[in-house]
Structure 1
Amino acid sequence: MRALRDTWLIFQHEAGWMVRNPALVALTLAQPIAYLILFAPFLKVAMANQGVETYAEAYQVYVPGLFVAMGLFGGLFSGYGLLSSLRAGVIDRCRVTPVSRTGLLLGRALTHVALIEVQAIVITIAALPFGLRVNPGHLLLAYLLLAMVVLLSTSVSYDIALLVRNDNSLGVLINTVGQPVSLLAGVLIPLTLAPLWVQDVALWNPFAWATDGLRALFAGNITDPAVWQGTLIAFTACAVSVAWSAHLFNREVS
């Protein structure tokens, strides 16, 4: 219970900072909106031989992938915030308080989850004029799956940040890891268009399973095995990564 209380307190503090900086939050939406408007229409032509005949169907394929891209990169770059707090002494000041180390970590991570969820809601609304239609219940499940994606990528970023403790090294590793992982998740171009060997490699990528699950939900196929498979794999990977982050955090910041 103490860890939950501390997580909530840290989350409130970090979320309050974001609320006081709405312009910064709005700027993070610029790239996803640009991709939504400029890139998604290409899929109508690219996937015409796979049954995509309208822009509405193209957005049903593209928006879930965009969600995963936002969750992946939004989470990976969260490590910079942790490094900044470590350098500024914020974490050290928290250490002298009774707040739990796990709560200190999870509270910060859940702030990024909340931010990406808000962005996802905005993207969903922005896609409606283009013909996107999705069942509200399926959409809520998609947001839940997205939350696990963000928490997974955020904890991975914290792992890297705690190990390298350097902004430049963190940036290099994020770009080295993030780009191939996103391509192998099919976030921009569905993996059904990829060669068979690429699809086989993608089976080891939890973000690819999450992308398939999200696309099934947006297509209205809640009984599709991709939904429970993507949820189970994302949850398992998320649990392992968060546990390892908590271990590193307790060791490095104790």
Structure 2
Amino acid sequence: MNMQTDVSPVRSHPADAPAPRAGAAKFTADTAAVFIREILLLLRDPFSLVFSLLQPLVFLALFGPLLTGALGVGSTAETLQWFVPGVIVMIALFGTSMTGSNLLYELMTGSYERVLATPLCRSSLLVGRALKEFAPLVIQGLLIVLVCVPFGFELYPFHVLAGLALLGVFGIGVGALSCALALAAQNREWMFWTVQQTLLFPLLILSGMMLPLDTGPAWMRTVALLNPLTYIVDAERALLGGAVADPAVARGVLAAVLTCVVGLVVGIRRTRRTV
């Protein structure tokens, strides 16, 4: 009598095995992992963070006194109240626009290809990098403000925090665009720096960041209206001056949000297309 026995393998499922993440949970976890990785890289090399503060301090020490006569104000304190917000925006613009240079280095060394081989979703690779730009902006902005307080800069703590939050939103968008530019340039490093430098200084000058545009030619004032950085600078001056209800703040918030959304959309699309 033949007896047949079912000997098909039994697959065991450990009760304590974590369920795989999906959807928003996976995106959040992956973004946090990329953010932590980027922050740790920054903490291991804090020299770049410290060095980036030297240029703004030089501008404050040497360029600030020259503005006292140009602005028609009678004290250094009034000059700082106008000039410090522009310097903080300058820190954000210089720092975030060069975010893609780190990605370029990873592309050239092949480390980015290893990151692409991980199960991290492509969108998180871009968003995590962009969010990393928020922390240095807050630290650098606070240090600049605190340095200027003994010289007459009037401090409004909550307004400063609101201004830094606004700048963080704007910086995330610029950082995402910088990463997208790096992915488009790939091994052509010269292309990244050519585009970055070509756009950087016109945006800076045409925002009224360093010099007032009120006395400039009409064409310059017209072009400045098309520059989103103009509205960020105006909003920062209003916030750091204690005028939170100023209409410039609302325009600055709109410009920062639009820059952030456009930057993330462009950056995520470019990241997903990267092989």
TM-score bracket for this pair, using the shorter chain length? over 0.9
Letter in 2 for 1:211: V
Unmatched segments (≥5 aa) in structure 1: none
Are 1:103 and 2:124 matched, yes or no? yes
Q: CA deviation at 1:242?
A: 1.1
The match for 2:48 is 24
Offset at residue 180 of structure 1 (A): 0.4
Q: CA offset at residue 248 of structure 1?
A: 0.6
Shift of 1:138: 0.8
User: Between the two proteins, what is the percent identity of the paired residues?
Assistant: 34
Between the two proteins, the alignment pairs up a number of residues equal to 250
Structure having the higher helix fraction is 1
Q: Residue 146 of structure 1 corresponds to which residue in structure 2?
A: 167
TM-score, normalised on structure 1? 0.93
Match of 1:248 in 2: 270
* Unmatched segments (≥5 aa) in structure 2: 1-24
TM-score, normalised relative to structure 2: 0.86
Give the Cα separation in 2 of the matches to 1:160 and 1:17. Answer: 21
Measured in 1, the distance between the counterparts of 2:171 and 2:247 equals 22
Query: Whole-Å Cα distance in 2 between the matches of residues 83 and 27 of structure 1?
Result: 21
Q: Equivalent residue for 1:204? A: 226
CA distance in 2, matches of 1:47, 1:187: 13
Equivalent-residue separation in structure 1 for 2:112 and 2:46 (angstroms): 24
Please say if residues 72 and 149 of structure 1, whose CA atoms lie closer than 8 Å, have aligned partners that are also in contact.
no
CA-based RMSD of the aligned residues comes to 1.4
Question: Deviation above 4 Å: which 4+ runs of structure 1?
Answer: none
Relative contact order (C-alpha < 8 Å, sep 6+): which is higher?
1
Give 1 or 2 for the bigger CA radius of gyration: 2
Give yes or no for the alignment of 1:175 onto 2:207: no
Where does 1:222-233 land on structure 2 (aligned, <5 Å)?
222-233=244-255
Moved more, 16-25 or 136-145: 16-25
Q: In structure 1, what is the Cα distance between the partners aligned to 2:127 and 2:243?
A: 32
CA contact (8 A) 1:68 1:149 kept: no
Matches of 1:17 and 1:34, distance apart in 2: 27
1:188 to 190, 210, 213: 210
Corresponding residue number in structure 1 for 2:133: 112
Partner of 1:45: 69
How far residue 99 of structure 1 moved from its aligned partner, in angstroms, is 1.0
